[in-house]
Structure 1
Amino acid sequence: MARKTTQFRQLLNSGGIEFLLEAHDGMSARIVEEAGFKGIWGSGLCISAAMGVRDNNEASWTQVLEVMEFMSDATSIPILLDADTGYGNFNNVRRLVKKLEQRGVAAMCIEDKLFPKTNSFIKGETQPLADVDEFCGKIKAAKDTQADADFCVVARVEALITGQGQDEALRRADAYQRAGADAILIHSKKPTAEEILAFMGEWRDTLPVVIVPTTYFNTPPEVFAQAGISLVIWGNHLMRASITAMQLTAARINRDRSLSGVEQEIATVKEIFRLQNAQELAQAEERYLPAHGRPPL
């Protein structure tokens, strides 16, 4: 099998449109792969949420890195990490690239805002953007640092989120391409894809474009494909689905003071064991442990 970095670069440059789904831990990452997706979005929002903290860099970059290691170990498909602003300046970015490569993470996305960042959907129009030259320095530092030629750096443009318009978005995207970015993520919080499609109409270059249609989810994927978009990220849906399921289950157990009402509606313990690959451990015990040292079946 090709390296995960090679797999991700092939997704970006497939000539068609590909899709990533969010995951936030090893279990959800394995579920994404089993569902048939070819890649995973390591969502900063959802990793933070799983820790019970806000998407304001309250989870440290080393805590995020530990989560990414579990996700990478649990899967065979590439992961694109939502790396916020790179967790600091160009030097932090250099160290991050080294550590991601060590853990088999295929790519990272960095956004042109200031550290500590705030989620784009929380008063995004008031958030200041990074200086273009400073952000280009981060991209250059990342590309100079990577040891694997296929490791990808996706540069996320937030100009539409902050209301600065298409001209600024295009100016920044062009600068980030010249700095060495492997793809551009153009972000919008509008309820339709109008801004994204307008950007694509002006963006006439060969660099792949990535989108996250969290707010304009009713747009048919065919529209994105016709516009020339390379990669679509479904950015937070496993976390949102799990919150709903846990809230409903917890409330029902508390109300009924019993498990009988939910037991047939939730995953079995055996399914947890399967996702944990418990069978592999049992086979390894047969191979490596003497008979008297094996756990009882």
Structure 2
Amino acid sequence: MSSPATDLRALLNQDRLHVMPCCFDALSAKLIEQGKFGVTFMSGFATSAARIGQPDLGLMSYAEVLDQVRNITDAVSIPLIADGDTGYGNAMNVRRTVHGFAKAGAAAVMIEDQLAPKRCGHTPGKAVVSRAEAFDRIRAANDARTEGADILILARTDARHDHGLAEAIDRAARFKELGADILFVEAPKTVEEMHTICRELPGPKMANIVEGGETPDLSHRELQDIGFSLAAYPLTLMASAMKAMAATLEKLKADMDRTPDLMSFSELRDRIGFNDYYETSARYETSKRE
């Protein structure tokens, strides 16, 4: 029987790049699925902004993130990779996070080696924990999976920032040995560094493309040729939505015509699911058939 984790494994077994727009709520995830993308990622940066209106600096709790995971997996059928940050505590908290995300329907959970409270990978001030603590997090995540959590582990290291690429690659290689399914070296600064990551590390690798961030914004073909299996775009949808909303608010304030900027009411209703609801609910209107 298929599961989100099984579906994601099947995608990763394909010898190609999977472009992964990142969602931040159920509606953005639905739009990604409607756009025919095969997988999505719940961006911690975007989710923190959308859910609590605060920056991604470790302010959201485990319970808030878990609730958002449930909302998204309830709304879509494509696999969701969920941002588990540092695991919300020590190794025992990591185990709980992995079990919880699996029960909520996530296909994979990302666990990183940042010092709590974590920071967005392309903003200043981030630091990583010791190798021993970082390895314990991935060991605990794998233990939870061994105990029955049907979920993949995406292991992330931010060691490139303070300790250099070699340390980041060494950590990621050890993550793989400890059971990680997907490796993510955050914020390589050059195309050559991206080549080195894919050349030296085994298994599926993820690239994180932040427009205006530190990692080169390469084409999909270039990312695939380098060797990445996943390309996450964590802020693309949120940045475009925020720009559109800010512009429309200015037009509304100035009493200008804003209709050219709006999705039609008919399409909006259809994308949200009104038509599907009406079609399904019609089966239960027995009084009209009797």
Structure-2 change in CA distance of 1:189 and 1:248 (3 Å): farther
CA distance in 2, matches of 1:101, 1:201: 31
Give the aligned partner of residue 7 of structure 1.
7
State the secondary structure of the residue aligned to 2:254.
helix
Give the aligned partner of residue 174 of structure 1.
173
Aligned amino acid, residue 234 of structure 2: G
Give the aligned partner of residue 79 of structure 2.
78
RMSD over equivalenced CA pairs, Å: 2.0
How far off is 1:290 after superposition?
5.0
* CA-to-aligned-CA distance 1:57-101 (integer Å, 9 cap, x gap): 212121111111111111110001122111211111111122212
Structure-2 change in CA distance of 1:148 and 1:6 (3 Å): farther
Give the aligned partner of residue 227 of structure 2.
228
Whether the 8 Å contact between 2:26 and 2:71 is mirrored in structure 1 is yes
Q: Which moved more, 1:28-37 or 1:167-176?
A: 167-176
Structure-2 change in CA distance of 1:142 and 1:218 (3 Å): closer
CA distance in 1, matches of 2:33, 2:280: 24
Whether the 8 Å contact between 1:132 and 1:175 is mirrored in structure 2 is no
The question of 1:263 aligning with 2:259 is answered yes
CA distance in 2, matches of 1:31, 1:116: 31
Give the aligned partner of residue 250 of structure 1.
249
Runs of 4+ that moved beyond 6 A: none
CA distance in 2, matches of 1:93, 1:218: 32
Structure-2 change in CA distance of 1:248 and 1:222 (3 Å): same
How far off is 1:148 after superposition?
5.3
CA distance in 1, matches of 2:127, 2:195: 24
CA distance in 2, matches of 1:122, 1:16: 30
Give the aligned partner of residue 68 of structure 2.
67
Whether the 8 Å contact between 1:137 and 1:179 is mirrored in structure 2 is no
Whether the 8 Å contact between 2:157 and 2:186 is mirrored in structure 1 is yes
The question of 1:209 aligning with 2:205 is answered yes
Aligned amino acid, residue 211 of structure 1: A
CA distance in 1, matches of 2:2, 2:269: 28
Give the aligned partner of residue 153 of structure 2.
153
CA distance in 1, matches of 2:280, 2:101: 29
Aligned amino acid, residue 104 of structure 1: G
CA distance in 1, matches of 2:185, 2:80: 19
* CA-to-aligned-CA distance 1:115-162 (integer Å, 9 cap, x gap): 211122221xx43211222222221222221365751101111121x2
CA distance in 2, matches of 1:248, 1:198: 41
CA distance in 2, matches of 1:262, 1:209: 42
How far off is 1:289 after superposition?
4.6
State the secondary structure of the residue aligned to 1:253.
helix
State the secondary structure of the residue aligned to 2:259.
coil
Q: Which moved more, 1:239-248 or 1:57-66?
A: 57-66
Whether the 8 Å contact between 1:188 and 1:196 is mirrored in structure 2 is no
CA distance in 2, matches of 1:264, 1:120: 36
The question of 1:197 aligning with 2:195 is answered yes
Structure-2 change in CA distance of 1:220 and 1:285 (3 Å): closer
- In structure 2, stretches of 5+ residues that fail to align are none
How far off is 1:288 after superposition?
2.8
Aligned residue runs from structure 1 range 4-153, under 5 A:
4-51=4-51, 52-123=53-124, 126-146=125-145, 151-153=151-153
Identity %: 29
State the secondary structure of the residue aligned to 2:232.
strand
Q: Give TM-score scaled by structure 1 length.
A: 0.88
How many residues are paired up?
283
State the secondary structure of the residue aligned to 1:264.
helix
Aligned amino acid, residue 273 of structure 1: R
Aligned amino acid, residue 31 of structure 2: I
